[in-house]
Amino acid sequence: IVLTQSPGTLSLSPGERATLSCRASLSVGRNYLVWYQQKPGQAPSLLIYDASTRATGIPDRFSGSGSGTDFTLTISRLEPEDSAVYYCQQYATSPLNFGGGTKVEIK
Amino acid sequence: QVQLVESGGGVVQPGRSLRLSCAAAGFTFSNYAMHWVRQAPGKGLEWVSLISDDGSGKYYADSVQGRFTISRDNSKNALYLQMNSLRPEDTAVYYCARGQQWLIKNWGQGALVTVSS
């Protein structure tokens, strides 16, 4: 399963809404789609799993949606600390491919 | 508190071998699948390999199949990645990660492997 993320870069102001897309070449079984956040110089961290379940401690401004081949990560009100690269990954079928990432820049 | 600490990275010549280790603490290691994920400098994440909790199931990315071998020692709370026939394109930070089944939930801080003559 190949995952394509868009856009490549998103440049928004604090308080704005960010919408990130992850499209799969085949349907992702059981909606086993996860979103990670990676800040510069750090390891990735878990945000959303099973397409829409927030991980422990993740603020409710982060939400995931979608099913089948189309998935979305939404950040409802951007904060400066949300500046990062966001990756989707499917964990239904080996190989457990990642998308290419979306960089979110805060103006 | 989950702790994953990678070691064994460094500079190696093309065609040579290297073994990465990951020391796990803060959880019952034998209950969890484990992954290796890598990230080339300035690039995105690439899943490398997965091993089941008891070591019976092993999966690999096409790019490393036949060259890399994942293994674990549950008595030592340790995960390994044996990397043979290394290529310059294997240069990356290699992350050890804990899985809940196939979902990666926790990540180590990574070990840099540089393949260069």
- A55–B105: do the CB atoms touch at under 8 Å? yes
State the DSSP string of B73-88.
Answer: ETTTTEEEEEE-S--G
Contacts of B42 (CB under 8 A, 6+ apart): none
Note whether A60 and A48 are within 8 A (CB): no
Q: Per the structure block, which two tokens stand in for B79?
A: 């995960």
Is residue B101 pLDDT above 90, yes or no?
A: no
How far is residue B49 CA from its own chain's centroid?
7
Give residue A21's pLDDT band: very low, low, confident or very high (50, 70, 90): very high
Give residue B8's pLDDT band: very low, low, confident or very high (50, 70, 90): very high
Helix ranges restricted to H, chain A: none
Of A43, A87, A91, Cβ closest to residue B108: A43
Is residue A107 pLDDT above 90, yes or no?
A: yes
Q: Per the structure block, which two tokens stand in for B56?
A: 């019976």
Please give the mean pLDDT across all residues of chain A.
97
By a Cβ cutoff of 8 Å, what residues of chain B touch chain A? 35, 44-47, 50, 59-62, 95, 101-110
Cis peptide before A40 (omega within 30 of 0): no
pLDDT 10s digits, B27-76: 999 999 999 999 999 999 999 999 999 999 999 999 999 999 999 999 99
